[in-house]
Every structure is written in structure tokens, then in C-alpha cells.
Chain A
Amino acid sequence: MKRALLIGAALVATACDDGGGPALELEVDAAPTPADAAPPAPDAAAPDADLTDAAPPPPPPHLDAPLAWVYVDDPVTDEGQLTQVELARTDPEDGRLTNHAVEVFNCLNEEGGVVAMPDLGGLSLTVSLCHEVQVARPDADGNYLSIMPPEDESDPNDSFAEIMMYHQVTRARDYYFDSFGFTDLDVSLPALVNVQLKVEPPLSLGPFRPNPDGWYPLANAAFFPKEQWDLFASQFGLPPRDSDSIIFFQDQKDFAYDARVIFHEYTHAVIGFDRLSAQRVVDRYGLNPSTFSMHEGLADYFAASLADDAVIGRYVGQGGSGIRDIGDRKKCPDDVVAEPHANGQIIGSTLWAVRQRLGAEVTDQIVYRALEQFTQTTTFEEAAALMVAEAEAMDPALVEPLRAVFAESNFEICERSAPWVDFDVDRVWHRLPYTVEGTQSVGIAGFREGVPAYKQFHVDVPAEAPAVRVTWQALGGASFIGQPGPLRTPLDLALRHDAPIEFTYGDGVHMDLDHRVTPPLDEGVQTAVLSGDCLPAGGGRLHTLFLNTGGDPAQIVRMHAEVLDALPLDGTPILDCGGAGPIEGDAGVPAEDAGAIDAGAGDAGGAADAGLDAGLPDAAAADAG
């Protein structure tokens, strides 16, 4: 069956992206190519005379365990050295790279791929996909040893990528089968390598620019659920298909050379779409992003465990340091962010720590057996409980050390309220803004009056403190293509003394809070001085939660809070949360509840400019989201 490919998955910025950094200088020529192990290439084996009269050479033998060169891990980890391995027997007699686990296609930059001519509202484009072919074939002796890495890693047609994909997917499949009896993917999973596309006339879309030959390089890899195939294929006149697929793109680096990236994508296929597919769920603290991020975090964990190395994407990441290192411990709530790869490092690094404590085999079993029971909405907390139950069933002695590791990252129980810190999106490890979903991005009906952020922030207020200044800068819009624009709807801030704001969901959304304020919005910045009844009487912890009443998500790129010694006289709006009347602009509070808000907030907006940027870290970072 003719297949086409997913061309644009890489457009959405993800942590699988290598960021477009410079290619590493690798000495692939240093790979072992012993003369006694590398037979002549098929075309070199033919005699140079009587070509026209000679009978066609016999087909290569169909070996049970043909030999090939691969990177066991990747070019960086393996220091450019190839290793000779036995490939799994191919199903086709001619040695095309298809077996029970995978069917590898090389997507060649040549004519013959499918073409679409969409009309973008008057702009007619021709989108050409590379041409999918099973190129790799065995040498005359039945092995594949003549297929080596190309001198140019950006080669968009090399067959070494096919060999890597075939070997590593088979390796991953065997791991899941041998360890857990997993057979759901014994369906020759389509796997595409060297994927690029061409758009005519050429378009430059942000970082996506064509090469001089017109082909767009893409730095990413993706798992493509079968459920999404039909729609895509229908635009190209292609038939439906009955399986998922994994897609590996080609930029300056070939993502198929990185075994752990292959394991990561294969694990997405193992988990599938009937588990952990909800992007976010609701819980007592608001929106919880842990579900979908576990799809990523478990893909990282199993990839790392299979490779026995905590670094994911050491080759495709910049500078050999990888794109993620789950040996670097992340925890809740400090490291909670909306982006699933980054948030997934909380579970990934927690499980890696468990693995170091309990060993790989035991940990893998605990995790996989828990995963088997997950639903589409399982959260960190529920996952932890299932893992504890599985550990107890395996050996009760495992429970205490397992829970001890969980406790170190608040994986089993997490109060999602972190300290207000000086936050600057360019200065945090994940380089991601704090996202507050909008009513048209949250995907959950029922939050029309305000969508809660993914985590709360708290300030410890001394008893004698008269005020706390909070300020933040946010961008808005552009949840998909395009750069975020200015924030159009101010964020509200819910306040609660001495306990996090808590939600219950029954006949509607109920929020336990003390006050809700809407500081004025000025060029993306909101600032308020909280005083009086806004603060816990006699001092204590003030929990805050951003609420978004706008349709688009807000991206908070800078935050600052400070306890003040005195009320400021610089014109910054001062809120005491003690007024009786409704405030202007506080659209998120139903009329019957508006009396909870300080009347002073509304009339202070006109004097807000003087202090707007005073506390924010590094104004230069404002557009970095």
C-alpha cells in the first residue's frame, strides 16, 4: 500500500526538537570496516567484462541473522564507532527491511511522492512529499555490511538510517515482548526515515526554511496514531491504513541515528492513545497537566532504561548533552509546566531514581504493570498509587523504598503551590513560560468564567508586613502557528490565606478562595500591591492562582513578588480586598460574588504606569515565550 508521511508534525515546537543547533563533527570514517568483515558492494562484485552477456547474478541468500553496522546508541555515545550486529531476519526474501516489528521506508528527496495542492485562501501551494521506498537491500552475501553512515550527516536519502531504524525498533519490540509479553505492536509498524517535504512556491515559516534544493529540513521525530491517518491521507488521495506509524525527519542530523529517540517514539506507540491521552484534567488544585506528560515521561523512562543511560537524544541534542536528562531530578510543584516533555521529566526522573534504588528489572516491571491499568486521564498521583500496589504485589519490601523515592519529588502527593520566585523564561532550565489556558484552549467545558493555571504560587507574609507587590508579564494568543501576541484580557488572581485554592466539581466548578482581583493590564504587564484583607491576618502563607477569562492561552514570561516594608507611593494600584462594591473590569466574578473584591482595584488602574516594570526581572526577556 502506498503510504505518505506526516510532514508538519515538527512545526509545533517540542522538546524533541534539537533547536536547529550546529551539527556535530563526527568522524564516521573512523568506523570499523575491517576488510574481512566487509565484502565488496554488490555493484563492485560484478566482473568488468561480458556484462551484457552475463546471466543476472543470483539473488543474495536470505539469512536468518544478517550482519550490519549500527550505532548501538548513537554517534556521540558510541564516539563515532560502529558495531557489527546481527539483524533480525527479514520477512521478504529479497531482504527489504520488514519483519514482525517494523516496516522501514526511506523517504527519498525525489519525484514520486504524493503531492497536494491546497488553496490557502487565495494562495495556491504545491506540497510535495518525499518518495517512500524500501531502498536497503542485502549485499551479495546476504549481509548489509556495505551500508555505512554517509559522509554528510544531512544526507536526506541514506540507507544507513533504514538499518538503524530496523535494528532499533526490533530491539525495542523484543524488549517489550521479553520483559512484559507485549505483542500489540507485532504488526510491522511503519517507520519512515529521512523525511522532508517541499513547498512551492517556497515559504519561510518562522524557523522552517527550505534548503537551496527546495526541500524543508525538519528536526524532529513523531508518533502518528492510526486514528489520525485517514484525515491526513484523504487530502492526498491515499487509502486508510490500519496501524500507527513513527516518523523520523532529517535536518542537519538524522534522527534515526539516535537509538533512544527511536525507543522514545516506539514507547509512544506502546502506550497508544487509549492511555494517557488527555492533555489535562481537573483536580483539587485546578488544572493538572500530568496525564499527557506521562506519555512523554514514560517514553523517556523506558527509552533510558532500555539503553541503560538517562540522557535522551544525546546525538540530536545540542553539544552532545542530549535533549533531556532524566538523571536530573525534577519534582512537583517546582518543575510543573504545561509543556508535556518538560513536565514529563518529573515522572521520568522519579522513575530513574527508583531504578537506581531498586534495579532496572524490578522497576521496569512495577512501572509497566501499573501502566497496563492506566486510563486516558491517569495522573501522577494515581500512577504512583498503582505503582505502589504493583510493588506490594511483587514484594511488600519494595514499597517503603519506592515511596521514599516518590516522596523526594512529591510524586505521590503534591500540593501544587510553589513559592513565588523571580521567574524569567530565559533563565529557567526548561525555557518555557507558565501557561494559563484560555476558555478556547482548555478543552474542558465549564470554565467560561475563568480557567485556572496549572499551579499556584505562594508568598510567606510576615506578621508585620503591610503589603506584598506582585507583578507579571504575559503574552497571549497563538496556541499553534505563529508567535504569541500581546495579552488582550487581563489575568485574574485568586487569593487564599494559609491553604491552596481548592476546587470541587459537582453541579459546577466550585472554588474555595478568599478574594479574587484583577490588576490592570498595561502592555502585557499586570501589577498589584496586595494589602489589608488581601493578606492573611497576623501573617502567614498567601496562596495565589492565575485565572484566565480570555479565550486564548496566556503565556507568563516574567513574574516577581516582594514583601514591602511600607505601602508604595509610586501610584501602583493598592488592593486591600475589603471594599463592598463591584470593581470595574473584574469580568470573572459573578455579580452576586463581586462584593468580595476591593473597590479600590478598579479606580487605581489609571495610575498604574509608574511601577509596572519595577520589579520584573530583565525586561529584555519579555518576548521570549
Chain B
Amino acid sequence: MRTLVIVAALALPAGAALAETPVARRAAEASVAALQRNGAAVRAAWQPGAATPARLTGLRVPTVGATPEARARGFLRAHPDLLALREAVLLSTRRSRQRTVVRLQQTHAGRPVVDRVVSITLDDAGAVRSVVNATAPLQQVKPTALDASAARALAVRHVLGRDDADLPTRVTPVVFALGTQGVEGFEVELSRVPFHEHLVVRVDGHAGEVIGVRDEVMH
């Protein structure tokens, strides 16, 4: 059987920094082991090849902080190798009868990393009870070759088939990530008449290409 590496778009130069994933994995495993020593019920689940766990359940880790976000961040600071999440912004805080769930979105140099979020569940006493993790350390992020204006123009042409400088849009600089690799890009939101889908156009800023369009209205 042969293994083909089919995608070079995000590939690193040969040999560059590839050793970091196993190192991060070992550090994360050590962090999980430390948590398990303090709580026998702690279970961790890992995706194949991932450097950090996808899920931790059975936790009961006390935290301190004035807000649920502060408690969640305090937990991550106390276990820095667990997720290796160095930079994140608050996505949401949701409360229900007996728990509060804090979602933090991974960022890179201030740009949100699309779809990479960790969900940290706190009980009424403020202890962390579970972690559901979709973040992962990025070894390399390719810089954008486009500015926001160029990305906007590309997105508008892709959707409308023509330029439209007056069309209201919202452009958000982001990072698109796959595995340990990232690329700077933009999410361009626009509305198309006469039937106004609310489209989000994803632009790979490094390649200068549209990589996706979606309608964010749900039926």
C-alpha cells in the first residue's frame, strides 16, 4: 500500500518544525496524567495524530475567578500544556440550572482561528467538570498576500460576478487552520439581492482564492 501526500497547499518546508507535535502531545499527556492523579474519574479522548485532547470528562478541578471566563482562563493557565492554547477570546458564556459553559475561540496574532473553540464546563461551585476541545497548536501560519479591500473585491466578484463598491459588506480577518498549519484569510459577509441570503465568503489570503461560500440563515 502506498501513502500519498496529496496536498501541498499548507505543507511546511521539509523537516521544518515537524517534531513539535509529538513534543506537545507528550506535554499534554503529562498534564492529563496530573489531572488523573487528582481525580480518578478523569477520562481523556484524543483524535488520531492530535497534539492535545479532544475531550476531558470526569473532572472536578476547583478554580478561582470573578467570572466564569476568568475561572476558565485560570484553569488553562494552571494547566498550560493541556491544550497549549496561548491566545483566545471569549466566544460565549452560557448558564443553565447547574452549570456554566464558557467557550473560548483560539486566536493567532489577534485573528480568530475559524472553528477552533474550546468549551469548558463549570459547575455551580466553579469547578471545571469537562473540557471539549477543538483547538490545536499551530506550527505555522502563512501570511496573507491580500488586504481586506482586495479580499472584499474578490468575494463580491465571486458571488455577484461583477464588482460592486457600494454593496454593504463586513470583512473579518481570520486564520483558517487544518492540522498544525494555518493560513491568514478573511471572512467576507455580504447580502445578495433580491433574495437576501446572508453569505459568508471565505478567502484564502495567501493563495488569493475563494475557498467557500455559505448561507448563515438556518431553516
Contact = CB atoms under 8 A, between A and B. Distances in A.
Interface of A: 6-12, 14-17, 116, 118, 120-121, 125, 127, 180-184, 197, 199, 203, 205, 208, 220-225, 227-228, 230-232, 234-235, 265, 268, 272-274, 278-279, 281-284, 295-296, 341, 372-378, 382, 385-386, 389, 439-450, 479-481, 496-497, 504-514, 516, 547, 588-590, 593, 596
A389 B130 contact: yes
A509 B18 contact: no
B8 to A, nearest CB: 6
A440 B1 contact: no
A380 to B, nearest CB: 14
Given A272-B92, A377-B117, A505-B179, A14 B7 contact: no
B178 A444 contact: yes
A507 B2 contact: no
Q: Which 4 A-B pairs have CB atoms at the shortest separation, nearest pair first? A: A8-B195, A443-B212, A181-B97, A505-B179
Nearest to A198: B194
Contacts of A284: 48
B218 A440 contact: no
Interface hub of A224, A440, A507, A590 (most chain B Cβ within 10 A): A507
B219 A221 contact: yes
A412 B202 CA distance: 31
B217 A589 contact: no
Interface of B: 1-12, 18, 21, 43, 45, 47-49, 54-55, 57-58, 91-92, 94-99, 101, 103, 115-119, 121, 130, 132-134, 139, 158-162, 168-170, 176-181, 183, 185, 189-199, 202, 204, 207, 209-219
A440 B6 contact: no
A501 B130 CA distance: 32
Given A121-B160, A513-B4, 17 more contacts: A7-B196, A9-B197, A12-B215, A199-B194, A222-B219, A228-B198, A228-B217, A235-B168, A272-B92, A282-B178, A373-B130, A389-B43, A439-B211, A445-B202, A445-B207, A446-B7, A506-B49
A590 B6 contact: yes
Contacts of A385: 45, 55
Contacts of B121: 372-373
A121 B139 CA distance: 44
A507 to B, nearest CB: 5
A588 B4 CA distance: 11
Contacts of A125: 193-194
A8 B196 contact: yes
A480 B215 CA distance: 9
Q: Which of A199, A231, A295 has the most CB of B within 10 A?
A: A231
* Most chain A beta-carbon neighbours within 10 Å: one of B159, B179, B213: B179
B132 A444 contact: no
A222 B217 contact: yes
A506 B193 contact: no
Nearest to B91: A274
Contacts of A513: 1-4
Given A9-B219, A442-B212, A231 B6 contact: no
A479 B2 CA distance: 34
Contact of A118 (B95, B97, B194, B216): B194
B9 A590 contact: no
A589 B6 contact: yes
B216 A448 contact: no
B8 A449 contact: yes
B97 A120 contact: no
B218 A223 contact: yes
Nearest to B92: A274
Given A223-B217, A441-B213, A445-B211, A509 B6 contact: yes
Contacts of A373: 101, 119, 121, 130, 132
Contacts of B209: 439-440, 448
Contacts of A279: 212, 214
Contact of B8 (A10, A231, A479, A508): A508
A505 B49 contact: yes
16 contacts: A8-B195, A180-B97, A197-B194, A223-B219, A225-B216, A265-B218, A377-B117, A439-B211, A441-B213, A445-B176, A479-B213, A506-B180, A507-B139, A511-B3, A590-B6, A593-B4
Given A220-B219, A508-B8, A508-B9, A231 B94 contact: no
A514 B2 contact: yes
Given A278-B115, A372-B121, A448-B207, A231 B194 contact: no
Contact of A443 (B1, B12, B48, B211): B211
B200 to A, nearest CB: 9
B9 A235 contact: no
Given A447-B7, A480-B215, A508-B181, A377 B134 contact: yes
Contact of B1 (A182, A449, A497): A497
A232 B196 contact: yes
A149 B109 CA distance: 57
A120 B193 contact: yes
B219 A231 contact: no
Contacts of A232: 191, 196, 198
Q: Which of B7, B97, B99, B211 has the most CB of A within 10 A?
A: B7
Interface centre among B2, B95, B217 (most CB of A within 10 A): B217
B212 A441 contact: yes
A279 to B, nearest CB: 5
Given A182-B96, A480-B213, A506-B179, A372 B6 contact: no
B8 A8 contact: no
Contacts of B48: 284, 504
Contacts of B45: 385
Contacts of A504: 48-49, 179
Nearest to A246: B218
A276 to B, nearest CB: 10
A186 B47 CA distance: 37
Nearest to B159: A480
B115 A281 contact: yes
A222 B4 contact: no
B99 A382 contact: no
Given A279-B214, A375-B117, A509-B178, A12 B197 contact: yes
Nearest to A507: B12
A551 B191 CA distance: 22
Contacts of B118: 375
Contacts of A227: 216
A376 B7 contact: no
A507 B4 contact: no
Interface centre among B9, B169, B195 (most CB of A within 10 A): B195
B195 A230 contact: no
A116 B193 contact: yes
A518 B130 CA distance: 46
Given A184-B94, A441-B212, A378 B179 contact: no
B115 A496 contact: no
Of B48, B211, B216, chain A has the most CB atoms within 10 Å of the CB of B211
A382 B54 CA distance: 9
A15 B162 CA distance: 31
Contacts of B190: 231
A165 B97 CA distance: 26
Nearest to B181: A507
Contacts of B130: 373, 386, 389
